[in-house]
């Protein structure tokens, strides 16, 4: 076909054609790799003019790593021996900037079949490459958040069951220690109680990760809260660690549970401390920022709170996993792997997110994004206030366990140990949303009578009674719902939610 007159192309026309192509760099190399022709596309993509580049060796287009790795020679030899070398990777422009290139190097032969040079075609596909990169990252991110979501559900269920077990263990230890004066036994009960308390702390953090920890959000000015937290953080750091901060005044309000925010920052600071050997710096900063669909689709104004350290950093393969519950690189007994899980759960549950950026050997920055609240007056009334429960229980230890459980469920609790105090509290502390009382109590008035009296003053008040005693007392109490002792977190929570 090339011999057909219509397809005869003079070398002049050929040059016009090659120069009309501006999206591809098309040029020739001699057998040693020196540039012997150059089109407009090459000038546009690589930045060298024809005069500058003719005669130069083509290795100047490669990055330093590739040059040191011998890639130019490899390309040349592969094309000379096998006819073609194809590659995709970073290349350099004249000004030193990089672009992602798709390149083909083809051997060129004359009519006698002698190798006379190499034709090189390069295409700048940086944009496509970056789009692909962004897509991959988004996919990775989605997978990661789906994984954490699934883990959250599993963990939440487990933590719930564990709470029940721990309530029983702790309750039994409490009861047991009340039935003995044997010092050895008392010590053992104390050990059981401590272990159960330790377990409760762990389940709390698990619930936090699973976003089932009841939060008590308040609208706060972050500047003040952060500044007072800095004092707390200082106490948990070694003296050779420097804690600096950059917290501008007047940051917009956010709506979060302040104690969980404090706990998150403490968890981050402790991690930073552990990542630094010897002396180092930890920097706490806060700014305002606007997000447009970044980070799992967050939109709007956020306060970004960052904690940066110059510690050991996290290797990329671990950085994906640090938010998972129980992921730790610390020695047994030094870390549970729940610190960042709490931070993650808190951020998500507060309508925000958390991001981690780390460079091994250089340090780590963790940033919490928390949504701002621009109309505090309206928002504050929108938020239902925590329901208030009056708890009456004469057993001091049981009362404490029960109070903890109720608070964990998100209630505000006022505790009284006998009916008289309960009545007084009720008179002073209106409004109460529910009365939860033990039936048998010292001091003349029992729980049933207390309930009757309180009902006279507030007829609609939901009442829940509890007892561990005789059938007779139960039938008497039947006008009110009854929860049998020993009750569990689950059964208590259910009984109360049926009433409220």
Ligand X SMILES: Nc1ncnc2c1ncn2[C@@H]1O[C@H](COP(=O)(O)OP(=O)(O)OP(=O)(O)O)[C@@H](O)[C@H]1O
Query: For binding to ligand X (CB under 6 A), which residues are involved?
Result: 267, 271-272, 275, 309, 311-314, 322, 327-330, 335-341, 364
> 164 touches which of ligand X, Mg ion, none (CB within 5 to 8 A by kind)?
none
CB of 404 to ligand X, least distance (A): 21
Nearer to ligand X, 258 or 335 (CB): 335
Closest residue to bound Mg ion by CB: 339
Yes or no: say if 233 and 266 are a contact pair by the CB < 8 Å rule. Answer: yes
Contacting residue, 271, 342, 367, 467, with Mg ion by CB under 5 A: 271
CB of 341 to ligand X, least distance (A): 6
Could you list the beta-strand ranges (E) of 276-381: 280-293, 298-309, 353-359, 363-371
Q: Is 68 exposed, middle or buried (0-12, 13-18, 19+ CB in 10 A)?
A: exposed
CB of 214 to Mg ion, least distance (A): 23
State the number of CA atoms in the 13 A half-sphere of 351 facing the CB. Answer: 15
State the number of CA atoms in the 13 A half-sphere of 357 facing the CB. Answer: 6
Nearer to ligand X, 174 or 309 (CB): 309
Nearer to Mg ion, 271 or 446 (CB): 271
> 338 touches which of Mg ion, ligand X, none (CB within 5 to 8 A by kind)?
ligand X
Report d(CA 143, CA 182) in Å as an integer.
Answer: 56
Report d(CA 371, CA 301) in Å as an integer.
Answer: 6
CB of 44 to ligand X, least distance (A): 45
CB of 367 to ligand X, least distance (A): 12
Among candidates 465, 396, 464, 453, which has minimal Cα distance to 425?
453
Nearer to ligand X, 339 or 371 (CB): 339
Nearer to ligand X, 338 or 398 (CB): 338
Nearer to ligand X, 117 or 325 (CB): 325
In order of 34, 35, 275, 358, 457, the CA distances from 237 in angstroms are 61, 61, 12, 21, 53
Q: Give strand pairing partners of 466.
A: 438, 483
Q: Give strand pairing partners of 220.
A: 254
- Per-residue x/- marks for Mg ion, 98-137, CB under 5 A? ----------------------------------------
Nearer to Mg ion, 311 or 339 (CB): 339
Structure tokens that stand for 496 in this block: 């109360």
Residue with tokens 């990089």: 98
Yes or no: say if 340 and 346 are a contact pair by the CB < 8 Å rule. Answer: no
Closest residue to bound ligand X by CB: 339
Structure tokens that stand for 391 in this block: 């708890």
CB of 254 to ligand X, least distance (A): 23
Q: Is 79 exposed, middle or buried (0-12, 13-18, 19+ CB in 10 A)?
A: buried
CB of 202 to ligand X, least distance (A): 9
CA 271 from centroid of its chain's CA atoms: 14
Q: Which stretch binds Mg ion (CB under 5 A): 68-76, 201-209, 267-275, 316-324?
A: 267-275
> 372 touches which of ligand X, Mg ion, none (CB within 5 to 8 A by kind)?
none
CB of 80 to ligand X, least distance (A): 49
Q: Which stretch binds Mg ion (CB under 5 A): 71-79, 165-173, 339-347, 465-473?
A: 339-347
Nearer to ligand X, 218 or 329 (CB): 329
Report d(CA 203, CA 450) in Å as an integer.
Answer: 35
CB of 453 to Mg ion, least distance (A): 50
Q: Is 63 exposed, middle or buried (0-12, 13-18, 19+ CB in 10 A)?
A: middle
Yes or no: say if 301 and 289 are a contact pair by the CB < 8 Å rule. Answer: yes
> 117 touches which of ligand X, Mg ion, none (CB within 5 to 8 A by kind)?
none
What does R_g of the chain's alpha carbons equal in angstroms?
Answer: 35
CB of 355 to ligand X, least distance (A): 13
Contacting residue, 339, 345, 363, 462, with Mg ion by CB under 5 A: 339
CB of 344 to ligand X, least distance (A): 9
Q: Which stretch binds Mg ion (CB under 5 A): 237-245, 268-276, 393-401, 459-467?
A: 268-276
CB of 317 to ligand X, least distance (A): 12
Nearer to ligand X, 337 or 468 (CB): 337
Yes or no: say if 486 and 495 are a contact pair by the CB < 8 Å rule. Answer: no
- Per-residue x/- marks for Mg ion, 455-474, CB under 5 A? --------------------
Residue 331 backbone phi and psi in degrees, to 5: -65, 160
Nearer to ligand X, 241 or 441 (CB): 241
Nearer to Mg ion, 207 or 441 (CB): 207
C-alpha angle 231-223-252 in degrees, rounded to nearest 5: 160
Among candidates 194, 159, 160, which has minimal Cα distance to 174?
194
Report d(CA 87, CA 74) in Å as an integer.
Answer: 11
Yes or no: say if 396 and 329 are a contact pair by the CB < 8 Å rule. Answer: no
> 294 touches which of ligand X, Mg ion, none (CB within 5 to 8 A by kind)?
none
The footprint of Mg ion on this chain (CB under 5 A) covers a number of residues equal to 2
* Inter-axis angle of helices 447-457 and 419-428, nearest 10: 20
Nearer to ligand X, 167 or 205 (CB): 205
Site for Mg ion, rule CB under 5 A: 271, 339
């Amino acid at each position: 076909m090339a011999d057909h007159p219509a397809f005869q192309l003079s070398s002049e026309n050929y040059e016009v054609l090659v120069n009309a192509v501006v999206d591809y760099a098309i040029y020739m190399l001699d057998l040693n790799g020196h540039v012997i022709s150059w089109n407009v596309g090459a000038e546009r993509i690589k930045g060298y003019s024809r005069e500058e580049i003719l005669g130069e060796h083509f290795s100047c287009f490669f990055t330093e790593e590739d040059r040191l790795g011998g890639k130019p020679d490899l390309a040349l030899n592969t094309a000379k021996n096998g006819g073609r070398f194809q590659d995709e990777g970073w290349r350099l422009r004249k000004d030193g900037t990089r672009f992602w290139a798709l390149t083909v190097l083809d051997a060129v032969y004359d009519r006698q079949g002698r190798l006379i040079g190499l034709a090189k075609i390069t295409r700048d596909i940086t944009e496509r490459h970056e789009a692909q990169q962004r897509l991959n990252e988004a996919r990775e991110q989605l997978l990661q958040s789906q994984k954490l979501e699934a883990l959250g559900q599993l963990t939440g269920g487990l933590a719930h069951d564990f709470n029940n077990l721990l309530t029983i263990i702790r309750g039994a230890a409490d009861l047991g220690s009340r039935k003995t004066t044997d010092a050895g036994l008392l010590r053992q009960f104390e050990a059981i109680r401590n272990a159960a308390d330790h377990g409760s702390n762990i389940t709390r953090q698990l619930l936090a990760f699973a976003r089932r920890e009841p939060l008590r959000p308040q609208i706060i000015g972050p500047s003040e809260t952060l500044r007072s937290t800095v004092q707390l953080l200082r106490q948990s750091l070694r003296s050779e660690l420097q804690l600096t901060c950059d917290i501008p005044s007047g940051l917009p309000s956010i709506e979060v549970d302040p104690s969980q925010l404090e706990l998150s920052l403490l968890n981050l600071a402790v991690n930073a401390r552990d990542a630094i050997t010897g002396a180092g710096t930890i920097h706490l900063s806060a700014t305002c920022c606007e997000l447009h669909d970044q980070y799992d689709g967050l939109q709007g104004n956020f306060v970004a709170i960052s904690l940066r350290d110059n510690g050991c950093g996290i290797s990329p393969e671990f950085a994906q996993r640090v938010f998972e519950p129980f992921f730790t690189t610390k020695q047994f007994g030094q870390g549970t792997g729940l610190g960042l899980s709490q931070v993650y759960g808190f951020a998500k549950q507060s309508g925000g997110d958390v991001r981690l950026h780390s460079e091994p050997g250089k340090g780590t920055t963790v940033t919490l994004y928390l949504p701002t609240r621009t109309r505090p007056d309206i928002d504050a009334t929108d938020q239902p206030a925590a329901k208030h429960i009056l708890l009456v229980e004469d057993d001091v230890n049981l009362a404490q366990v029960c109070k903890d459980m109720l608070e964990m469920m998100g209630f505000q609790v006022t505790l009284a140990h006998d009916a008289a105090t309960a009545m007084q509290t009720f008179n002073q502390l209106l409004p109460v949303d529910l009365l939860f009382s033990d039936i048998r109590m010292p001091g003349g008035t029992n729980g049933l009578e207390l309930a009757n009296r309180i009902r006279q003053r507030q007829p609609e008040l939901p009442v829940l009674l509890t007892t561990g005693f005789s059938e007779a007392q139960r039938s008497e109490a039947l006008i009110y719902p009854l929860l049998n002792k020993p009750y569990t977190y689950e059964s208590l929570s259910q009984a109360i939610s049926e009433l409220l």
